[in-house]
Chains A and B, each alone.
Chain A
Amino acid sequence: MSLREQLRIMVVDDMSTSRGLITQALDGFGIRQVESAADGESALNKLAQWPVHLVISDMNMPGMNGLQLLHALRSNARTGKVGFLLITGKADRNIIETGKKLGMNNFLAKPFQPADLRKAIEAIVGRL
């Protein structure tokens, strides 16, 4: 099995349009094992049942923001090593610096094209 067939991804975004767009793009790359969640809390619940290799999360969400989700993931041994790609509205220095401290693998600023997303993912996991 190729990497893209084995790769499991969790998409976290409060906006269903964004979840749809990312899932659609992933589908285009041949990544079919994709789950999505509308907020950090339900993402964590889903991850407890269905571990993934990579979490793609929006930064600005109600409840837990993207970096708070990352902190929660890194605080738990089961999810501590999961890959994390943060989607931000703007490449804010503060956000990136904090993400770096928390062990964020990569980030991507909006708006982005599917090719940008692919590049950002491949930088983390290697060629799809």
Chain B
Amino acid sequence: MSDPMAEIRASFFVECEELLEALQDGLQTLYDEMGDGETVNVVFRAVHSIKGGAGAFGLDTLVAFAHRFETALDLVRSGHLSASPDVLKLFFTCSDILTDLVREARDDIPHDPTRTDPILAELDTLLGATPADDVAEDDPIDFEVTTLSLDLDLDAPGETEDPTWDITFTPGPLLYANGNEPQFLFRALRDLGDLTVTCHDNDLPPLEALDCEHAHLGWTLRLTTPEGRGAIADAFDFVEGLCSLDIMRADDAPPPPADLPDLAELDDLAALSGETPDPEKPIPEPVRPTSETAPSPEPSPRPAPAAATPRATVRVDLDRIDRLVNLVGEIVINQAMLSQSVDAAGVPPNSPVRTGLEEFQQLTRDIQESVMMIRAQPVKSLFQRMSRIVREASAAIGKDVRLRTEGENTEVDKTVIERLADPLTHMIRNAVDHGLEPGDAREAAGKPREGTVQLTALHRSGRVVIEVADDGAGINRPKVLAKAIEKELIPADSQLTDSEIDNLLFLPGFSTADRISNLSGRGVGMDVVRNAIQALGGRVTIQSEPGQGTTFSISLPLTLAVLDGMVVRVARETLVVPLNAIFETLAVTPDDLRAFGPNTHVINIRDTFVPLIDLGAELGYRHPLQDYTGSVVLLIGQEDGLAAAVVVDAIEDQRQVVIKGLQEAYGRVPGIAAATILGDGQIALILDPIDLVAQASGHTQPAKPVSPQKIGVSS
């Protein structure tokens, strides 16, 4: 993009995304009744800024809509309209439309007025009673431009010398009560430049009258420093609001010019910018608001929330990052090869080559983590999209639904976030449509009419977990079972556990709804959701409690590029097992082993029996062993507990491997997640142990009546 205007235009749309995010956030905060005047300002400013930018690019549809929206928000800001839930719901819809209009403008999609017009009409009803806000054209404002005689020699005097500052500092009692010590502040200032400290003890009472709970001393400090006012103010960061502080340039500290209006007259200014008018707090001094009156016993409120200030970011083309990710992957492989060569050459343990190599290994790992962090993004944007899905879905079927989100700042690989949008959308729609009962049924069950869908993201043992939970009726297991039998997905005499019944939902073609609703009945079942998540190296599990609700948990790897693996050998083949699936490793003793019919064994792990799976036999590398005593087993499991003990011939190593996808070339191979290149250049398959256990043929597994996962495969 060489055209600077095109570049600014592109950056405008990126900025719009940030503003829309702030808008959504603010509205949600107001909806949750956690907002204050500043929240309204942030919301107003977001729409105002979008309008301003859109105006510069002549995006008239966007400007027109943003203007009406802004006018309505201004009414809330000025207190003429209260932010009731109904008003906020309209604002949410407006913010959705604004999002659409921004996308339309960005991608040059023609605008469809049928969607915006009814909302504009609603806005107009809202605005109806109030007078036009704009200054009428025929009533021009009387303003005369003040010309300037320019002193073009700006840099001439004194610029080479460091400026001198006069700091007046009077601590309040709370400053001491909070454990602050002026001496430390002065030391911090001394580090900035030349400091002269003068103490004022005029207010110090005689010793017998001294109340040691009070603050009696004040200081003036003269500091000559190359640092700016910001650095000086920073030193006082911790005592903000606990003292009276004044930072003035010593060389030009005269009072404001006499013709400046009185500060009191400027109260309106605050209203114009939306600052909460506070008679105690005059217009901020150049650096930061400081209390100029008596030391206030309470810390002053924090300035505008971080969301309102622009983030310091660099926009980088994703291709460049991916190239970096690939190169780092190559370094990892290269470093593994180097380590192997050094081993093969018999280099002694303490040689400089080895220490150097170890440092190299550590650095490689650090670089890799840093690169992965570049690709990571908070799930916030994804969650915000879901809040729109909930609003639209609940409106479509007439249920009252509130979405609560938690852990929005949890970071996940960008690709994972993008590819998670569809399955998550489907799960959310399901939760609204099938999970939550209609309002009347909820009331009958003694629950609030408004249903809740909770969306949570968190990090758990090296993976990202995303939960979709509803407080509905829970899975209707008899109904699900009957349906599965009716559809001949399972034999009529099946005896399934609760969890096995719940898992039937993931069978292809399964749908619990008697009627096809216009929401989730789109021909996409939970099996598609599960496949999409498995393709990301993730897993979905269900937990449901009758009457309490249902929770779907998606567990995902942090990155799609590398994983920590255990390198194992089975029948002369080398395989990699993801470390996060391995609970522990052990050698089988005769006491642990129980035969369970011919060729099926279980192993006793601390009084729990776990099926034994012979990896070599499962993968068809060799026949099952005659005796498993002394064999090495990996205890495999996931969040909900141990699943199996997998027999391997030997454990070779534990290392980080670069994931090379197989799906493009081979499609999805059951039990196999991907492949990697080992240090010696050999290609090894990376197992998907959970999938493998689920698919296990049963040679070493007790014959169970049926397991839903197996049905999934056979159908």
B52 touches A44 (CB 8 A): no
Q: Given that A21-B8, A21-B56, A48-B228 are known contacts, is A68 also in contact with B283, CB under 8 Å in the complex?
A: yes
Q: Given that A72-B284, A96-B143, A110-B55 are known contacts, is A60 also in contact with B45, CB under 8 Å in the complex?
A: yes
Complex-state Cα separation, A125 to B48, whole angstroms:
29
Across the interface, A53 reaches (CB within 8 A) one of B154, B252, B269, B308, namely B154
Range for the number of chain B residues in contact with chain A: 35 or more
Which residues of A are found within 8 Å of B56, using beta-carbon distances?
A: 17-18, 21, 110-112
A7 to chain B, nearest CB (A): 8
Q: Is B129 an interface residue (CB 8 A)?
A: no
B141 touches A44 (CB 8 A): no
Which residues of A are found within 8 Å of B145, using beta-carbon distances?
A: 105-106, 123-124
B310 touches A16 (CB 8 A): yes
A48 touches B51 (CB 8 A): no
B53 touches A68 (CB 8 A): no
Q: Is B11 an interface residue (CB 8 A)?
A: yes
How many interface contacts (CB-CB < 8 Å) are there between A and B?
188
Complex-state Cα separation, A110 to B49, whole angstroms:
11
A59 to chain B, nearest CB (A): 7
**Residue of B4, B41, B252, B272 most packed against chain A (CB within 10 A):** B272
A20 touches B11 (CB 8 A): yes
A45 to chain B, nearest CB (A): 5
For B303, the closest partner residue in chain A by CB is: A63
B154 touches A51 (CB 8 A): yes
B680 to chain A, nearest CB (A): 50
Complex-state Cα separation, A85 to B41, whole angstroms:
23
Q: Is B134 an interface residue (CB 8 A)?
A: yes
| B contacts with A: majority SS | loop
B154 touches A65 (CB 8 A): no
Which residues of A are found within 8 Å of B486, using beta-carbon distances?
A: none
For B253, the closest partner residue in chain A by CB is: A77
A103 touches B8 (CB 8 A): no
B310 touches A74 (CB 8 A): no
Q: Given that A15-B15, A93-B141 are known contacts, is A62 also in contact with B284, CB under 8 Å in the complex?
A: no
Across the interface, A91 reaches (CB within 8 A) one of B135, B151, B275, namely B135
B265 touches A101 (CB 8 A): yes
Complex-state Cα separation, A69 to B155, whole angstroms:
22
Q: Is A80 an interface residue (CB 8 A)?
A: yes
Complex-state Cα separation, A38 to B304, whole angstroms:
14
**Residue of B15, B150, B252, B310 most packed against chain A (CB within 10 A):** B150
A-contact 0/1 string along B523-553, CB 8 Å cutoff: 0000000000000000000000000000000
Interface pick from B254-262, B321-329, B618-626: B254-262
Across the interface, A44 reaches (CB within 8 A) one of B4, B229, B257, B272, namely B229
B272 touches A59 (CB 8 A): yes
B254 to chain A, nearest CB (A): 5
A38 touches B228 (CB 8 A): no
B52 touches A111 (CB 8 A): yes
Q: Is B347 an interface residue (CB 8 A)?
A: no
Q: Is B309 an interface residue (CB 8 A)?
A: yes
**Residue of A52, A62, A100 most packed against chain B (CB within 10 A):** A62
Across the interface, B260 reaches (CB within 8 A) one of A75, A106, A107, namely A75
Q: Given that A60-B45, A71-B260, A124-B147 are known contacts, is A44 also in contact with B308, CB under 8 Å in the complex?
A: no
A residues 90-126 touching B (CB-CB < 8 Å)? 90-98, 100-107, 110-112, 123-126
A9 to chain B, nearest CB (A): 12
Across the interface, B135 reaches (CB within 8 A) one of A3, A39, A81, A93, namely A93
Complex-state Cα separation, A107 to B146, whole angstroms:
10
A110 touches B52 (CB 8 A): yes
Q: Is A30 an interface residue (CB 8 A)?
A: no
B residues 91-113 touching A (CB-CB < 8 Å)? none
Which residues of A are found within 8 Å of B304, using beta-carbon distances?
A: 62-63
Which residues of A are found within 8 Å of B261, using beta-carbon distances?
A: 98, 101-102
Additional 8 contacts, C-beta under 8 A, given A21-B56, A51-B154, A111-B63: A27-B4, A89-B48, A92-B135, A95-B272, A98-B272, A102-B261, A111-B52, A124-B147
